[in-house]
Structure 1
Amino acid sequence: MDEVRVEWSDLPKELLPTIGKSLDTRIDIVRFRSVCNSWRSSVPSSNSPRFPLKFPHPYTTSSSTAPTQTPAYLCESTIYRLQSLNPSTSSSNKAWLVKVEQDSNSGGKFRFFSPISNRRIAIRYPNTTLNLLEFRVIELAKAYTLRLRDRVGVVRIGPTNEIVEQLPGDSSIRCVTKVVMFPNSPWTNVNDSAVFVIFGAGRLGFAKSGAESVTVVDDNGFEYDDIIVYKGQFYVIDTLGNVSWIDNSSLKLVPFLPPLCGLGRQKHLVESCGALYVVDRYFNKERRRVEHTNRYVRDCDGSKVVDFKVYKLDEEWGRWELEKSLGDRAFVLGNDCCLSISAEEFTGYKRNCIYFNDQNENHVFNLEDSSFGDLQDIHPSWLLSNLL
């Protein structure tokens, strides 16, 4: 049977809303609505919440007797694969890893952040728009942070145009190590999304938009390192290597696999090519649990990273396998989001390497020979001259 081809302009109009609602990233919705007037009118822009969203302070929990804290705000940023389609604009045809946050409180302005350290990159250019005809843009992941915005902040800019200090007017909350929100598609009502946060000395908290306080999950003394959404389900790992999935309705933690036999002091969950990995980070000193302003936090001051081990989930046998190589992949252990990328596609990244932040500096670890190295330029200067 001969294949029948139908021009996009001849598609039945009743199919357009179904097609549009199947798109799960904001950039794809923008492309869809840009095709023509009929496509634009068939699908609304999206139901995405306007960030930042007011959120309960994590240290004001449902079981807390402490006085009410300053309100926190949930901020969303997006990590993109961004590639120039103009050869004269860039010296390489490789893409850049770019992290962007749009702030509705400042008129929808965009702000750039480092994908690794999550520090804001200072932009000293007038506002312009990004022409999607000149760039190939693919959304890779979303990241979330909790910040305080109770007064105007003050920033200090370093010699490389990166903000190296940001005071409480727009500062991350101390010892909040991970925030995850799901579902987070453009069509999701924010009231239907769950937010989990790891804070203090590894406590796991839960809240929804509009909640008065954070509910502590499994408050039995376990210290959690990381949380991830894998195949539509929340998974969490503690410092001993126990991985559990979270029952959203009951907030119960269900053991997922036998404990990971990793002796590192900090564990990260990473999804790569559909598989689940654990990256175990080793320090030269043990992380201590100390008291700070009537609450316990982790004191990592002075600890230096000395090694990494990587484990991959063998779903068939239900066990963790030690990996010697990541192949052509690179793992980016951001301060608020961990992800896997194809190193061959991105400028400044090398295969079989782990990129991370340690003692407020970005580093790279080569898994093949266990060596540490300096980073190449991972900030696209040609982009900064065309944006914001």
Structure 2
Amino acid sequence: MDDKVDWSQLPIELWPKIGKYLDNHIDVLRFRSVCESFRSSIPPSLPNSPSFPLQIPHPIHTSLNTHLTQSTIYLIEPTGASSTSNLASLAPSSSSKGWLIKVQESKNQPLSLLSPISDRKLSYPQSNNNTAFKLWNLLDYRVVEICKSYTNEMITRFASSVRKVVFYPNSPWTNVEDCVSFCIFQEGKLGFMKHGDQNWKLVDDKNFYYDDVIVFKGQFYVTDKWGTISWIDVCSLKLIQFSPPLCGLGNKKHLVESCGSLYVVDRYYESSENMRRNNVGRHRDREAVVECFKVYKLDEEWGKWVDVKSLRDRAFILSNSCNFSVSAEDLIGYKGNCIYFRDTFDIRMYNLDDHRISMVDFILPLT
């Protein structure tokens, strides 16, 4: 078991077959970076695979150009080869934990580094010789794609009309004609668009109270403000009820996939003197609006909701453009059984153990 395997001795006919099983862009890039033979065995992607930013019409002002941009959240884990790198020096030398980074991709501009929670664009760190850029060799790290997120960007006052966008499927081997997108408008309406459409189509004109939409096990799911999850039939644009109503009394429902299960995070906004005293990071000279959270897991077999008291080692991240779950044991700066989110002021952490909110001081070592 200690013998090293010389992968270059694999039969040449196996390389293209292995490459076709790589369903995200970073894995294809790393595969093609191994050697010239690997690089020539598979193309970087299909010629007509999705390329971002995608130009799409605005849902209301159709004469305005809008663009769907893509960002990807990666887990960067150190290896023996990375122990002497600049990035590894940001953590204790004995640490085997990794970092979360969020990268916004564009075919016309350099990659942008974003906060995984707030989506705020981060400045490139200064290197030791005070140059503007720092070089990372990703072949020296384990790079795992966590999820993708999509933003409908337009530099006008109308850009806030779309709250959440999901896009599927999206892989190097997917034709752009096969991809579809759903969005949640700010007012709670559900929109749909596929390749070639000239505008968003309104889905379910009887319910304008949708809170979140997600891709779960290759299907689109949406939840309304009552916590009722529905599966979206892309062909007929009909919604099929997937869960009973949650009947949670929170102000907003967030959908999160974690370890193959679907969760709803019910978000409350409370204002009271007791909550003000028990939480930090708020100004005492104004009315405190404090966020609280309850977590529910959908038992698909029995079709009922389970009140989750502990996430154990998992941490839930509720960002502006996507929600996801990570193992806190694998990451620097994250704690298990906590929910990370952005409020009006900054990034904060809600601890499900003691129900306290605290400011986040250390999430991304590059900030």
TM-score w.r.t. structure 1 length? 0.81
Asked if 1:194 corresponds to 2:195, the answer is no
- Could you tell me which of 186, 195, 201 is aligned with 1:215? 201
Query: Structure 1 residues 172, 270: CA separation in 2 closer, same or farther (over 3 Å shift)?
Result: farther
Asked if 1:81 corresponds to 2:75, the answer is yes
Asked if 1:321 corresponds to 2:324, the answer is no
Partners of 1:359 and 1:341 in 2: CA distance? 24
Q: How many residues align?
A: 333
**Structure 1 residue 260 displacement after superposition:** 1.0
Partners of 1:175 and 1:284 in 2: CA distance? 26
**Structure 1 residue 261 displacement after superposition:** 2.2
SS at match of 1:241: coil
Match of 2:9 in 1: 10
CA deviation profile, 1:132-173 (whole Å, cap 9, x unmatched): 23332211110000001xxxxxxxxxxxxxxxxxxx27x882
Counterparts of 1:249-268 in structure 2, within 5 Å, are: 249-268=235-254
Q: What amino acid sits opposite 1:195 in the alignment?
A: S
Partners of 2:73 and 2:5 in 1: CA distance? 34
SS at match of 2:108: helix
Deviates more, 1:43-52 or 1:219-228: 43-52
**Structure 1 residue 303 displacement after superposition:** 9.1
Q: What amino acid sits opposite 2:59 in the alignment?
A: P
Counterparts of 1:141-156 in structure 2, within 5 Å, are: 141-148=147-154
Partners of 1:124 and 1:343 in 2: CA distance? 25
Structure 2 gap segments, 5+ residues each: 127-131, 272-286
**Structure 1 residue 305 displacement after superposition:** 4.0
Match of 2:136 in 1: 130
- Could you tell me which of 230, 234, 243 is aligned with 1:244? 230
Partners of 1:245 and 1:189 in 2: CA distance? 23
Match of 1:183 in 2: 169
**Structure 1 residue 7 displacement after superposition:** 4.7
**Contact 1:147–1:172, Cα closer than 8 Å, also in 2:** no
Match of 2:39 in 1: 40
Match of 1:291 in 2: none
**Contact 2:232–2:238, Cα closer than 8 Å, also in 1:** yes
Structure 1 gap segments, 5+ residues each: 61-67, 149-167, 286-301
TM-score w.r.t. structure 2 length? 0.85
Match of 2:353 in 1: 368
**Structure 1 residue 13 displacement after superposition:** 2.1
Partners of 1:55 and 1:83 in 2: CA distance? 36
Match of 1:139 in 2: 145
Partners of 1:303 and 1:273 in 2: CA distance? 35
Asked if 1:70 corresponds to 2:86, the answer is no
**Structure 1 residue 284 displacement after superposition:** 2.8
Query: Structure 1 residues 337, 321: CA separation in 2 closer, same or farther (over 3 Å shift)?
Result: same
Asked if 1:331 corresponds to 2:316, the answer is yes
Asked if 1:340 corresponds to 2:337, the answer is no
**Structure 1 residue 229 displacement after superposition:** 0.7
**Structure 1 residue 105 displacement after superposition:** 2.0
**Contact 1:54–1:209, Cα closer than 8 Å, also in 2:** no
Partners of 1:175 and 1:79 in 2: CA distance? 24
Match of 1:299 in 2: none
Q: Which runs of 4+ in 1 moved over 3 A?
A: 124-129, 302-305
Query: Structure 1 residues 273, 124: CA separation in 2 closer, same or farther (over 3 Å shift)?
Result: closer
Partners of 2:139 and 2:31 in 1: CA distance? 14
**Contact 1:116–1:334, Cα closer than 8 Å, also in 2:** yes
Partners of 2:137 and 2:144 in 1: CA distance? 14
Match of 2:294 in 1: 309
Partners of 2:359 and 2:365 in 1: CA distance? 17
Q: What amino acid sits opposite 2:58 in the alignment?
A: H
**Contact 2:314–2:338, Cα closer than 8 Å, also in 1:** yes
SS at match of 1:98: strand
Match of 2:270 in 1: 284
Match of 1:102 in 2: 105
Match of 1:349 in 2: 334
**Contact 2:318–2:324, Cα closer than 8 Å, also in 1:** yes
Partners of 1:214 and 1:229 in 2: CA distance? 18
Partners of 1:133 and 1:41 in 2: CA distance? 18
CA deviation profile, 1:252-290 (whole Å, cap 9, x unmatched): 0000121112111100000001111000000138xxxxx
**Contact 1:55–1:209, Cα closer than 8 Å, also in 2:** no
Q: What amino acid sits opposite 2:114 in the alignment?
A: F
SS at match of 1:89: helix
**Structure 1 residue 219 displacement after superposition:** 1.1
Partners of 1:172 and 1:130 in 2: CA distance? 37
